[in-house]
Chain A
Amino acid sequence: MFDASKWHMKALLLLMMGLFMSVSVYAMDASDAPDSITIDAIAQYYEPVEFDHAMHTELAEDCSVCHHHSTGNGTSDIYCSRCHSDYKELDRVSCQDCHSVDSFSAEAINRQGQQDLFHADMLGLKGAYHQNCLGCHQEMDGPVGCEDCHAKTDAGEKLFDSGKYAPEPSEGGGSHH
């Protein structure tokens, strides 16, 4: 079991070693990734997510379904391959290297107006995860319920007035219309 942030350090180290050993770049394969990853970068209202990377690499057609072309395996998305057809491994593979934790930071908002960027419309990390994970789960009958991947924390139950914070049948001043 890996912590994504710790793994990141290792990946960097590996990458540096790789660069040291040879100038040619190889595409990553499943063995370059941990079998299981605890995704916990933004956990607050929900518990961290236990992500079975090994199972998912087998399920998915190829790495680019999740990592775009960043693992150096090209991309199976014909729209993207128009401009990203090269098989070059990027130094950023982890989702949060490009999809920022703070989806609407001043920097992220500024990006939207930048004329010189092709990808001005960038998802934050939370949006990237859910669009990617939920999107495929909807298509391939994976889990889609909000608590299938992560149970609510106490803060989450408070936010939703659910669990032990659920309104009594008679309670609840708010109308629901």
Chain B
Amino acid sequence: MSKVSRRKFLAGSLAGGAAVVAAPAKKALAAGNFSGFPDGMGVLVDLTRCVGCRSCEAACNKEQNLPKPAVPFDDTSVFDLTFHHGTQKRRPDENAYTVVNRYEPEGMDKPTYRKMQCMHCNEPSCLTSCFVKAYTKTDEGAVVYDEHVCVGCRTCMVACPHNIPAYAYSKVINPVVKKCIFCYDTRVSQGKPPACVDICPAQVMTFGKRKDLLKLAKARIKRNPEKYQTEIYGEETVGGSAWMYISGAPLDEVGCDTSLPKEPIISNVKGFLGVVPMVLSIWPALFTGFHLLATKNKDHHDSHHAEGEE
């Protein structure tokens, strides 16, 4: 069965819509300053407003038909969970495309809560790293993927500077990538805000055109300089993203990776692009390899997961 579907998706991705949509992004990559499609949408997350109620997690779970959670979404004991010997807080995974974490920055009288999910980069490294073109950056700014094209090679997982893509192993077929898609198919493609934005009681998140949101963010900071940090996370981080954060606490104290470069990840590995023609010529062989790898991972998955990976 795998042979048949493989053929199908190859034909599909070469002639299909995904390749066409991805083209402008690629062209702009050369310039290295692509700031998203002009009318691309985005979300401004204002961390000073978040009270950590986890409504966004609940709404995401329902909208995306994700599995029932281990504990109710109004249970805040999850903020005490840590992984990897206390070095890591919760992360989005194949069962939860967004999670909220609690941080206690030094010198602040209140904790800061931060929701994380796919940032929907302007120049997504998952997209550029994907050998089979499973990813598309839509005009609306969403970074979406085609499950039927994904071969489960995990390259995007490694390429993502924000550690977002996860893999679902439960499917009978290949493991496939799972991540936040900006509620693209059910909401954003129709001009409606994603489910997490919609449910938020305190309007922590503002949905709008990315270029307008940047103006709003700067205005909020300018009006209240003692309340906000001057930096907007996601304005320029790895080429900028549809999702952006402003914060009262220093960004690196609330789980944002401020060591990330301004340039999109792809331009750091430009030399690597030379390999592409070679990759193209040997890709049938590569896919077989990926597929083997993928199925192998699947077999190992159960025992692996039980150890409590993450």
Contacts and interface: CB of A to CB of B under 8 A. Distances in A.
B90 interface: yes
Contacts of A112: 206, 208-209, 212-213, 215-216
B202 A134 contact: yes
Contacts of A126: 200-201, 203
A167 B72 contact: yes
Interface stretch (A6-14, A19-27, A90-98, A117-125): A117-125
Interface string B202-220: 1100111101110110011
A149 to B, nearest CB: 10
Given A160-B73, A174-B68, A131 B203 contact: yes
B96 interface: yes
Contacts of B71: 167, 172, 176
Nearest to B62: A159
Contacts of A134: 51, 201-202
Interface stretch (A30-38, A53-61, A63-71, A103-111): A103-111
Interface stretch (B9-17, B190-198, B225-233): B190-198
Interface in B260-297: none
A153 interface: no
Interface in A148-177: 159-163, 165-167, 171-177
B175 to A, nearest CB: 16
A174 B70 contact: yes
A103 to B, nearest CB: 6
B49 interface: yes
Given A109-B207, A159-B59, A177-B310, A172 B70 contact: yes
B49 A161 contact: no
A121 B53 CA distance: 23
A131 B208 contact: no
A79 B225 CA distance: 14
A104 B208 contact: yes
A126 B49 CA distance: 13
Contacts of B55: 159-160
Contacts of A130: 201-203
Nearest to B204: A127
A146 interface: yes
Contacts of B202: 127, 130-131, 134
Interface in B51-81: 51, 53, 55, 58-59, 61-62, 66-75, 78, 81
A177 B98 CA distance: 10
A155 to B, nearest CB: 10
A166 to B, nearest CB: 5
A161 B69 contact: yes
Contacts of A120: 212, 215-216, 219
B93 interface: yes
A159 B196 CA distance: 12
A162 B215 CA distance: 39
Given A113-B212, A176-B81, A167 B51 contact: no
Contacts of A104: 192-193, 197-198, 207-208
A161 B68 contact: yes
A161 B57 CA distance: 11
A146 B193 contact: no
Interface of B: 49, 51, 53, 55, 58-59, 61-62, 66-75, 78, 81, 83, 90-91, 93, 95-96, 99, 191-193, 197-203, 206-209, 211-213, 215-216, 219-220, 223, 310
Nearest 4 A/B pairs, CB to CB: A127-B203, A173-B67, A172-B70, A162-B72
Interface of A: 45, 79, 103-104, 106, 109, 112-113, 120-121, 123-124, 126-128, 130-131, 134, 144, 146, 159-163, 165-167, 171-177
24 contacts: A104-B208, A109-B191, A109-B212, A112-B212, A112-B215, A120-B212, A120-B219, A130-B203, A131-B49, A146-B53, A146-B201, A159-B73, A162-B74, A167-B68, A167-B72, A172-B69, A172-B71, A173-B67, A173-B68, A173-B95, A174-B68, A176-B90, A177-B90, A177-B93
